Structure 1
Amino acid sequence: MKKCLNFPYTVIDSEIICEHKRARIDPTDISTVHNHDGYEIVLFLKGDVNLMVEPELFKMQPGDIFFVSPLVFHGVDLEDVSGYERIVINVQYEYLRNLGDAETDFSTLFRSTESANMNHLRIPVESIPKFVSIAKKLEEALHSNAYGHSILAKAYLAEFLLLSCKYSENVPPQKKSSTMPVAVAKVLEYVDKHLSDEITINAMSTELHYSSDHLSRAFSEATGDSLKHYINAKKIALAQKLLLENNSPYDVCFMVGYNNYSSFSRRFSNQIGVSPKQYQLSNRVS
């Protein structure tokens, strides 16, 4: 993966975003691992692509659909930048929450028995056109100014999700086929386990029995991110969740392993764009 240490957090600024992406991609456009404040669906159609959804790395095949939960880090590694075709749908957290009803919780699509953060379906090749057709109608409705276009968009999104649910019930779950290097998988597991602590690369290398240089180099090659940068980004993602659960910003600072509130607040503001308190007030869930 190309090393690109931009801020990894992206705000989904529309209720629904749907894009059928077919354009050629220049290698300089490939981003590092990142996360969103809402849900993401990726329907893979063509190309030579590896998808990283922590802590796994998958070789994508036509018909693969990945449902990624909010704040989960993910990214792509393109072996061939000339033919990457996919459909990407982003949905704001609250919008998806309100889309279903008492009997239909669409958020269940975004987790599986193997992962609380991601679900992976493989659609039969002959069924891919059904999904592409619905996504095309959804994209057209989102870009229309016609009367009722937002209602149509909502209906097409629900249809896409319901069709996905149908295949989720009828298609066996995909067996793990991760190609993530062992050392990097251990790093991801270690970071998750110790997010509430002060994490140092030296302490990690001692526990995992690798040199710190090897861990840093292997992690950067696999994800495109620096290990130190990733650790801080993961801590801030956890802080977001804790703030949305109405923990005080001061308490959250120590809950994610920082021992100085000023340092925590500065790091949070740099990554998210607002202070912890401002984030909590603007995103408070009733």
Structure 2
Amino acid sequence: MEAGQQRKFHYAAADSSFFYHHARDEQPNPLDYKLHYEKGYEIFMFINGAGSFTIEGSKYDLEPYSILMMNSNELHVVNIAEHLPYERIVLSMDANFLPPFMAGGIDFFRTIKFRKLGEDNQLSAEIVRASGLLDLFGKLRQALEQRSTEHEMVAKCIIVQILSAINDLAKADLPSSSKLRDDKVRAVLEYINANLEEQLMLDALSERFFVTKYHLCRIFKETTGFTINQYITYKRIHLADQLMMQGFTPTQACFMSGFNGYSSFFKAYRKLTGGTPRSGKPQ
């Protein structure tokens, strides 16, 4: 990043295949950063501030120019401190970003896509600098600032380079920097994700994992940053989104994702996404 470079910059691709967002909040309000999931893939570069990032219950400490990667199945939230300006770059990519580059079975998203939820999400600043990723992000910004069709294609090629560099780093079997403190919580998370269509009552979870409801609720909240019910609801909304994208109606997706009634599904969907469920193209 060049000194004096404008800190607030947004770019949306003409075909909606990617979105680039560079912003700095001088007085960050932690309440502005909500628990959410992506429709596609996200690469998040932290530049300035203080805090941590929680992804599927794993906590990652933020350091300037470290990178975090999330796929569409990973529920995440940034936990930002108020006493320092908060600056970051967010690169969001649609799942269909790379059709021209997919010949020969190459999947440039494979490192972001094929991981256990909440594991190996972070690249340290030291690794980012040594790998040339910081330089690639600088070139990406320069291309996007031209705001032309030609330079948007150049930007896409640079994004492919970024993804390829991340895939190369994955081969090096880098040490994980996640901090999920409780093995029992990890087991509960995995069970919930594998059984979203079931009832998943707190009593049943307590009995299955041999822990009292009070203790389970406490360690889950302390470890992940959200409640069990909150996590289940987000995950079910996400599953419903996927089902609607496959062609199922909102009513079908409602019950297939574990909701007991359409009214509760509709209210939860609207509250968490700001939109309404719609077959084929969730808002």
> Structure 1 length normalisation: TM-score?
0.75
Work out which of the residue numbers 108, 111, 121 in structure 2 matches 1:109.
111
Contact 2:246-2:280 within 8 A present in 1 as well:
no
Point out the more displaced range, 24-33 or 243-252.
24-33
Quick one: distance in 2 between partners of 1:185 and 1:80? 29
Change (3 A) 1:268 1:146: closer
CA 1:212/1:160 → structure 2, altered by over 3 Å: closer, same or farther?
same
Alignment match of 1:67 (pick from 60, 69, 72): 69
Query: Per-residue displacement from partner, 1:230-278 (whole Å, max 9, x unpaired)?
Result: 22111111111222223343333322222323433343344334443x2
1:207 aligns to 2:208 (yes or no)? yes
- Kindly indicate whether the alpha-carbon contact (under 8 Å) linking 2:57 and 2:223 is maintained by their aligned counterparts in 1: no
Q: Secondary structure at the match of 1:93?
A: coil
Which position in structure 2 is the counterpart of 1:198? Answer: 199
**1:31-50 superposed matches below 5 A:** 31-44=33-46, 49-50=51-52
- The Cα shift of 1:35 comes to 0.8
The change in CA–CA distance for 1:174 and 1:245 in structure 2 (over 3 A counts) is farther
Distance in 2 of aligned mates of 1:78 and 1:259: 35
| Number of the residue aligned with 2:243 | 242
If asked which structure has higher relative contact order (CA below 8 Å, sep 6+), I would say 1
Rate the CA distance shift 1:60–1:68 in 2: closer, same or farther, 3 A.
same
Distance in 1 of aligned mates of 2:148 and 2:78: 36
Which letter maps to 1:110? I
Deviations 1:109-133 (A, max 9, x none): 2134x52676546467275173222
Contact 2:66 / 2:123 at 8 angstroms: preserved in 1? yes
**Corresponding letter in the other structure for 2:155:** A
Following the alignment from structure 2 to structure 1, what is the Cα–Cα distance between the partners of residues 166 and 256? 37
- What SS does structure 2 have at the residue aligned with 1:148? helix
- Structure 1 match to 2:8: none
Q: Secondary structure at the match of 2:211?
A: coil
Whether the 8 Å contact between 1:63 and 1:122 is mirrored in structure 2 is no
Contact 1:99 1:158 in 2 (8 A): no
TM-score by length of 2: 0.75
RMSD: 3.4
Does the CA-based 8 Å contact 2:66-2:128 persist in structure 1?
Answer: no
Task: Give the share of equivalent positions with the same residue, in percent.
Answer: 25
Query: 2:79 is matched with which residue?
Result: 77
1:172 counterpart SS class: coil
Q: How does 1:5-154 map to 2 (within 5 A)?
A: 14-20=16-22, 23-24=25-26, 26-29=28-31, 31-44=33-46, 49-60=51-62, 64-78=66-80, 82=84, 86-95=88-97, 97-98=98-99, 100-103=101-104, 104-112=106-114, 114-115=115-116, 119-120=120-121, 122=123, 125=126, 128=129, 130-146=132-148, 148-154=150-156
Give the unaligned 5+ runs of structure 1.
Answer: 1-11
After the TM superposition, which parts of structure 1 deviate over 4 Å for at least 4 consecutive aligned residues?
20-25, 44-48, 60-64, 78-81, 83-86, 116-119
1:13-60 alpha-carbon deviations (Å, 9 max, x no partner): 943233445555535346343112121012345665433221433345
User: Is the 8 Å Cα contact of residues 50 and 58 (structure 1) preserved in structure 2?
Assistant: yes
Alpha-carbon deviation of 1:81?
A: 5.3
Structure 1 distance, partners of 2:119, 2:101, is: 19
Amino acid at match of 2:157: A
Question: Please, which moves more after superposition, 197-206 or 179-188?
Answer: 179-188
The 8 Å contact of residues 30 and 80 in structure 2, kept in 1 or not, is answered as: no
The one-letter amino acid of 1:178's match is K
* Residues 77-103 of structure 1, C-alpha deviations (whole Å, 9 max, x = no match): 3468527654421112222x4252213
Unaligned stretches of 5+ residues in structure 2: 1-11
1:164 is displaced (CA, Å) by 2.3
1:259 and 2:257 matched: no
The change in CA–CA distance for 1:227 and 1:25 in structure 2 (over 3 A counts) is farther
Residue of structure 1 equivalent to 2:190: 189
